[in-house]
Chain A
Amino acid sequence: MNHWIIVPVLLPLVAGALLLVLQGSGLAAKRAVSIAATTALVPVAMGLMAIAATGEQQIYYLGDWPAPFGIVLVLDRLSALMLALCSVLASASLLYALGGDDTKGAEFHALFQFQLLGINGAFLTGDLFNLFVFFEILLIASYCLIAHGGGRARIRAAMHFVVLNLVGSSVFLIALGVIYGTLGSLNMADLALKVAAVDADSLGLVRVAGLLLLVVFGLKAALLPLGFWLPPAYRSATAAVACLFAIMTKVGVYAIIRVHTLIFIDPSDGGFSLDAWLLPLALATIVAGTIGALAASELRATVSYLVVVSVGTLLAAVGLFSRDGLAAALYYLVHSTLVVGGLFLLADLIGRQRGEVGARLDRSRSVYQPALLGTLFFFAAVAVSGLPPLSGFAAKVSILQAAQTSAAAAWVWGIMLTSGLFVIVTMSRAGTAIFWRTEDTQGEPRPVRGIEALSTCGLLAGALLLMVFGRQAFDYAQATAEQLLHPSGYIEAVLANESVSTPASMRE
């Protein structure tokens, strides 16, 4: 049993608790603990990714209880990828927060660590109820973080966010109750076996549970009819928080991928009719997000709607249910998370230098550092709208290629290309309004600090690195998709109970 697997959960937990103890001591101490714990996650996650890249699922039996009775953590290619992505994004957003965002409200650093605890746990766990618990941990931290900084807009958005997610959690519990009541297990690997062998009587109930889970994860991911909470919440959140939240929708996407490639796959009798739902809803999400981005009158709102577009694109690629579609989706997932996170930070930098008008797309004073911010904005716009030579282009081309063989190819091509065109229009309109259509007066002399530039550039550079190392990235994504579409390896690894030292009497 490799104990490094639990480190991404333990490290933020211990750091978060320590930060609460350090409450009385100065800001410097808290910052040091927080940044040390967060950046330490990067090498750990990279190491875990190297282990996962061997292709064998690593299982961590919590308390050494045998599966399916105890809770397991599972490290496979997908969870390792998500952990690495999360650690990079979190480091950048925390670095940015050190520029001053962390002093706008109480206990930013402790909440940040608990947020990471929830996210990392959700990526690692191999148990559905444990997934619920980690979801709640990340949610309660996000409830506080989304209101971080206070103010009318934030409180109002937080209220909606909290109430919606509490209802969502209730639906999650109902789904879990139905699953346990019909199948008698909550371990994902065990469930996969039990769903495959389910009798005709309970098939309907299992199907209901599967679709209820889709509703819950769709709410987290902001899939269309459930995604209206996202733009107001993200646009009003503090920049560093919004940047970190770029991965929150991906937690929902991850859960959809995990549950629907592992448990609810039943090709025998028409399946769980998921493909009938996911692809149309995802395409509708793209349309809604694009319309929102076009209509937005403020840069942060535009970026929030681009998050919706990216979720739609991602789930459309997942909804193709093919190896190529899944691989393209994973590549796009990494690309969109990094670029959107960088865009949130950039929008904050721009808004700060324009004084009162903020990031609104009105005629106003120019920014203080037009060369630096303009270049970054151009780079980000190219990346997010999927133009060559950055990774957005490669991601979109691979999704379109994967869609070629699908029955809905015309829809996917049509909607994604049209949406891409409108995103270009949106971004050029925003860029023109902010950098060119300005008054002659200069903006607020609040130059970009070194750490802020570092974190923003770091995230945006992801788009370049993904292109330079495109071959390796695509190979990894292909291998991950391959692993996901052959869940028998996962199931066998979990239920093998290799390292468990249980007495023979308990094994019966």
Chain B
Amino acid sequence: MEALFSIVIGILVACGVYLVLRARTFPVVLGLTLISYGVNVFLFASGGLVIGSAPLALPEVLIHPDPLPQALVLTAIVIGFGMTAYTIVLALKAYGELQSDHVDGEAQG
């Protein structure tokens, strides 16, 4: 379980970093989204991974999940969503102003 989780997080973040380094606004936005997915999954796992536990802390359940990482992830998702929206708007604006989708405003070399 832990191995699967870490592999998934690793692949998500690696793909995200690759896309961000492409330095074109659309891949950059996708890359940032992938990184934040990877980070959210990581944050979710920080409460410990347990197989067979209940999703909620109920009195009759013995193995409680840790509710705090769930709250943290929820906050992180909401913030990430807002940031992505803003980045897309800014990327569109930059394309309009600079006539290029390169993050430097012009492709080099």
Chain A residues packing against B (C-beta within 8 Å): 129, 133, 136, 140, 143-144, 147, 150-152, 155-156, 158-160, 162-163, 166-167, 169-170, 173-174, 176-178, 180-181
Which residues on A sit within 8 Å (CB–CB) of B18? none
Docked-complex contact A158 and B90, CB < 8 angstroms: yes
Tell whether A155 pairs with B75 under 8 Å between CB atoms, given A166-B87, A167-B32. no
B55-96 interface (Cβ within 8 A of A): 68-69, 72, 75-76, 79, 82-83, 86-87, 90-91, 93-94
Tell whether A151 pairs with B97 under 8 Å between CB atoms, given A173-B39, A178-B46. yes
**Distance A417 CA – B93 CA, assembled complex (angstroms):** 44
Complex A-B, nearest 4 residue pairs according to Cβ-Cβ distance, in ascending order: A181-B46, A177-B46, A177-B43, A156-B105
Q: Is B26 an interface residue (CB 8 A)?
A: no
Docked-complex contact B98 and A180, CB < 8 angstroms: no
Among residues of B, the one whose C-beta sits closest to the C-beta of A154 is B97
Among residues of A, the one whose C-beta sits closest to the C-beta of B72 is A129
**Distance A129 CA – B46 CA, assembled complex (angstroms):** 14
Q: List 9 other contacts, CB 8 Å, given A129-B75, A155-B90, A156-B105.
A: A147-B93, A151-B97, A155-B93, A155-B105, A163-B32, A170-B39, A176-B46, A177-B39, A177-B69
Docked-complex contact A133 and B94, CB < 8 angstroms: no
Closest CB in chain A relative to B2 CB, distance in Å: 11
Listed A/B pairs (14) with beta-carbon separation below 8 Å: A152-B105, A155-B105, A156-B94, A156-B98, A156-B104, A159-B25, A160-B103, A162-B83, A166-B87, A167-B20, A169-B79, A170-B35, A176-B43, A177-B42
Q: Mark B40-51, 1 if CB is under 8 A from A, else 0.
A: 101101111000
**Distance A174 CA – B69 CA, assembled complex (angstroms):** 12
Which residues on B sit within 8 Å (CB–CB) of A140? 82-83, 86
Which residues on B sit within 8 Å (CB–CB) of A180? 46-47, 68-69, 72
Which residues on A sit within 8 Å (CB–CB) of B97? 150-152, 155
**Distance A181 CA – B5 CA, assembled complex (angstroms):** 14
Which residues on B sit within 8 Å (CB–CB) of A177? 39, 42-43, 45-46, 69
Among residues of A, the one whose C-beta sits closest to the C-beta of B38 is A170
Which residues on A sit within 8 Å (CB–CB) of B87? 162-163, 166
Which residues on B sit within 8 Å (CB–CB) of A173? 39-40, 42-43, 76
Among residues of B, the one whose C-beta sits closest to the C-beta of A178 is B46
Which residues on B sit within 8 Å (CB–CB) of A144? 86
**Distance A218 CA – B45 CA, assembled complex (angstroms):** 26
Docked-complex contact B86 and A143, CB < 8 angstroms: yes
State the majority secondary structure of interface residues on A: helix
Docked-complex contact A174 and B39, CB < 8 angstroms: yes
Which residues on A sit within 8 Å (CB–CB) of B45? 177, 181
Most buried by B among A133, A169, A170: A170
Which residues on A sit within 8 Å (CB–CB) of B20? 163, 167
Docked-complex contact B48 and A133, CB < 8 angstroms: no
Docked-complex contact B36 and A170, CB < 8 angstroms: yes
Docked-complex contact A176 and B72, CB < 8 angstroms: yes
Docked-complex contact A159 and B86, CB < 8 angstroms: no
Closest CB in chain B relative to A139 CB, distance in Å: 8
Closest CB in chain B relative to A69 CB, distance in Å: 9
**Distance A136 CA – B36 CA, assembled complex (angstroms):** 14
Among residues of A, the one whose C-beta sits closest to the C-beta of B103 is A159
Which residues on A sit within 8 Å (CB–CB) of B94? 155-156, 158-159
**Distance A133 CA – B25 CA, assembled complex (angstroms):** 25
**Distance A181 CA – B41 CA, assembled complex (angstroms):** 13
Which residues on B sit within 8 Å (CB–CB) of A150? 97
**Distance A240 CA – B47 CA, assembled complex (angstroms):** 44
Among residues of A, the one whose C-beta sits closest to the C-beta of B29 is A163
Among residues of A, the one whose C-beta sits closest to the C-beta of B71 is A129
Which residues on A sit within 8 Å (CB–CB) of B40? 173
Among residues of B, the one whose C-beta sits closest to the C-beta of A179 is B46
Closest CB in chain A relative to B64 CB, distance in Å: 13
**Distance A181 CA – B9 CA, assembled complex (angstroms):** 16
Among residues of B, the one whose C-beta sits closest to the C-beta of A153 is B105
**Distance A266 CA – B35 CA, assembled complex (angstroms):** 32
Which residues on A sit within 8 Å (CB–CB) of B28? 163
Which residues on A sit within 8 Å (CB–CB) of B43? 173-174, 176-177
Which residues on A sit within 8 Å (CB–CB) of B48? 181
Which residues on B sit within 8 Å (CB–CB) of A160? 103
